[in-house]
Amino acid sequence: MLKDDFPDVRLNIISKLERVNEVIGIELLSQSLLPAIVQLAEDKNWRVRLAIIQHIPLLAAQLGVKFFDEKLASLCMSWLGDTVFSIREASTQNLRRLTEVFGVEWAERDGGILSRVGGMAEHPNYLYRMTTCFAVSTLSPALTLPVFARSVLPILHRLVEDPIPNIRFNVAKSYAVLIDIFKRLPDETTTLSQLESTSPPPSTQGTAKGEELVRGEIMPPLEKLGQDEDVDVRFFATTAAKSWTDHQAQAQGQGNAMET
C-alpha cells in the first residue's frame, strides 16, 4: 500500500506508522517507507507535501535519530525553501517538534538544523533569509539560554542590516520573541516548551544570564533598527524594546513595593 498510486492511501499508512511497525518491524518498514516519503514530499499538490511534513515528527520518533539524520534531515531542510508559504511555515514548526523529540544538543551540533538555518541567513534569495527569521522564532521555545547565546543570536545579528525592509522588521519581531522567552526561563537548562508542558504552566522569572543577553545582545541591535529609514522596521523595533523596558520597570516597581 506504500506504493499505491493515490497519495492519500500512502499518507494513511504513514499516519498509522506505530501500529504498522508492531506488525512488520521497523527495519523492514523503513526500507519501504523512504521511497514513499520522498515521493509524497515532492508531490506537485502542496497539500500532500504539507500532510507529509505534519507526519515527520511521528516518523522521527519511530525510526530514530540515525535513520532521520541519514535519510530525512536534508529533505526537511529543503521544505524551508518551498515556493508555498504554508509549506515554509509548517517546515519551521516541524523543526521545533523535531528538536523536542531529539533534544537541544541534536539541534545545535555541527551540521545540525541550527547551523543549516544559520546558513540560510546568507542565501541570495530573500525568501530563504525571511524564512530564517520565522525558523528562529518558531524554534526558540525548544531551546535553552546557552544555545541562544551561542547559535541563535548570531544568526539574527547577521540580518540586522539586510537590504530588504521586510526582513529587518522580522528580525525585530524575532528579537521580541526572544525577549518574551528570556523573561520566563528560570535557568540555563529549561526550555519554554518544557515549562508549558506542565499544567498549569508555572509562573517563573528570568535569570541574570537572560537579562545579560537582552541588554548586551538584543537591545543594541534593536536601538539600531529603531532608527531605521523604514517606518515598519522602526515600529517593530521600538515595540520589542519597549516590551523589555516595561518589564524592567514592572520588576523594579515590585521590588520597591516589597521593601516598603
* pLDDT digit string, tens, across residues 61-81: 878 898 889 888 988 999 999
Q: What is the dihedral of CA 101, 201, 238, 81, to 10 degrees?
A: 20
All domains of the chain in start order, with CATH: 8-102 (1.25.10.10), 103-248 (1.25.10.10)
* Residues 195-223 pLDDT 10s: 998 877 777 788 999 999 999 999 999 99
Give the residue ranges of the chain where pLDDT is below 50: 1-5, 20-21, 23-24, 258
CA nearest to 26, candidates 74, 56, 60, 72? 60
Alpha helices, DSSP H, located in the chain: 7-15, 17-24, 26-41, 46-63, 65-67, 73-78, 85-102, 104-108, 113-120, 126-139, 145-147, 153-159, 165-182, 192-196, 208-213, 219-225, 231-259
